[in-house]
Structure 1
Amino acid sequence: MEPNGTDRRGTDRRAVLSTVAGAVAAVSVAGCLGGADSEDDEPEPGLDQATAVEGDTDPEAWRDVESLRFDGYVGGWLGLEPSAIEGVENPTLVLVEGREYEVTWENKDGIHHNFAFWDEDREVVEDYSTDGTDVEGERETLVFEATPEMDTYRCEYQPAGQKGPVELI
């Protein structure tokens, strides 16, 4: 080693150590993130499964709908049924005023959620709210009648991320 910190081949010891440390860090992070070569290639469940942020709001697509189905995550609701909301994150619900519907949702992340319809003053409409659950895989169902007061549907525990608009026809 020369007095200036280089070896006889001109390599700076700090540069070598820095390069080695960077390589080790990159390999460690790649292993933690489960890159393409990892044994577990299954995607993490969540809203990354959403294929759209807008569903079909054509009233004709909603005329015969009587049931709705969602998966619930902290980041939002993932529409499953009817086909107008399939794969849509926090889709707009187009409901026929006065019609009775059934909405079923499943807790997909083990965080406490419920499903509720709110009016424009952020109040629950006619007690249309499920009890809520924090049990992953558990389902809740709510039977309701579409009323003009319905402005949004939300999770009352994560109202900023789990919400969508309601349109009445």
Structure 2
Amino acid sequence: MTPERHPTRRRALKLAGVASASVLLAGCPDDDDDTDDVDDGEEGPPEPDDEEPEDDTEDPEDDAEDPDDDDEDDDTGNGFEIEPDTQIEFDGQTEGWIGIAPDDIEGEENPTLVLEEGESYEIGWTEGDGATHNIEIRDDDGEVVDDLETDFTDSPDDDQWLEFEASDEMTTYVCEPHETTMVGDIEVE
């Protein structure tokens, strides 16, 4: 009589591995693939996909408004409404005009100013970063409106103020040497 041999644990695992590999190599029909079941020469299981699965849920950050969006300057949604006869004061920083007064624009960079047509205002800067600045009011074509511009200086004084009556041709306030960063919109209603 032959002694009964029980497979060892190692042998059982090998057999299970061979059986699993045989099943994988044989393949199963893929209902999503319109091609015939042809051996393409690949062996073993398919490589895992390194890409993360696509999430169809909306990202709350996608719905968030851009904090740099000019439409978020204040509670009006279109800028800061400035009362007639107001002195609009800025800190001239090369990165942008920083509002000082009135209180509504304090700390705001290049705030959009909403002015009333035909009303009087004053705009200027009293503080700066030591760089050369000026302030001017321009129209849509980038032209200075009614000579509303100050001289260039690195230390602001009383000469850095413009008194004007708001007109619909006014669209921006600008520092000429830094016109790409120190520029804010004017809306006249």
RMSD after superposition: 2.2
**Structure 2 runs not aligned, ≥5 long:** 1-66
Residues 73-107 of structure 1 deviation map (CA, whole Å, 9 limit, x = unaligned): 11110001112211100000111111111113024
The structure with the largest alpha-carbon Rg is 2
TM-score by length of 2: 0.56
SS at match of 2:176: coil
**Do residues 159 (structure 1) and 179 (structure 2) align?**
yes
- The one-letter code sitting in structure 2 at the alignment partner of 1:90 is N
Report the alpha carbon displacement of residue 126 of structure 1 after superposing the two structures with TM.
Answer: 0.7
Q: 1: CA distance between counterparts of 2:83 and 2:107? A: 20
1:28-43 superposed matches below 5 A: none
| Aligned residues with identical type, % of pairs | 43
Q: How many residues align?
A: 117
1:97-116 superposed matches below 5 A: 97-116=117-136
Identify which range, 126-135 or 157-166, moves more after superposition.
Answer: 126-135
**Structure 1 runs not aligned, ≥5 long:** 1-51
Would the aligned equivalents of 1:71 and 1:106 in 2 still touch at CA under 8 Å?
Answer: yes
Query: Partner residue of 2:153?
Result: 133
Query: Partner residue of 1:77?
Result: 97
Match of 1:68 among 88, 102, 113: 88
Would the aligned equivalents of 2:84 and 2:121 in 1 still touch at CA under 8 Å?
Answer: no
- Structure 1 residues 160 and 60: alpha-carbon distance in aligned structure 2, compared to 1, 3 A threshold: closer
- The one-letter code sitting in structure 2 at the alignment partner of 1:56 is D
Q: 1: CA distance between counterparts of 2:181 and 2:81? A: 26
Higher relative contact order (CA 8 A, sep 6+): 1
- Structure 1 residues 120 and 73: alpha-carbon distance in aligned structure 2, compared to 1, 3 A threshold: same
Q: 1: CA distance between counterparts of 2:148 and 2:84? A: 21
Q: 2: CA distance between counterparts of 1:121 and 1:61? A: 24
Query: Partner residue of 2:20?
Result: none
Report the alpha carbon displacement of residue 64 of structure 1 after superposing the two structures with TM.
Answer: 4.8
Report the alpha carbon displacement of residue 65 of structure 1 after superposing the two structures with TM.
Answer: 5.5
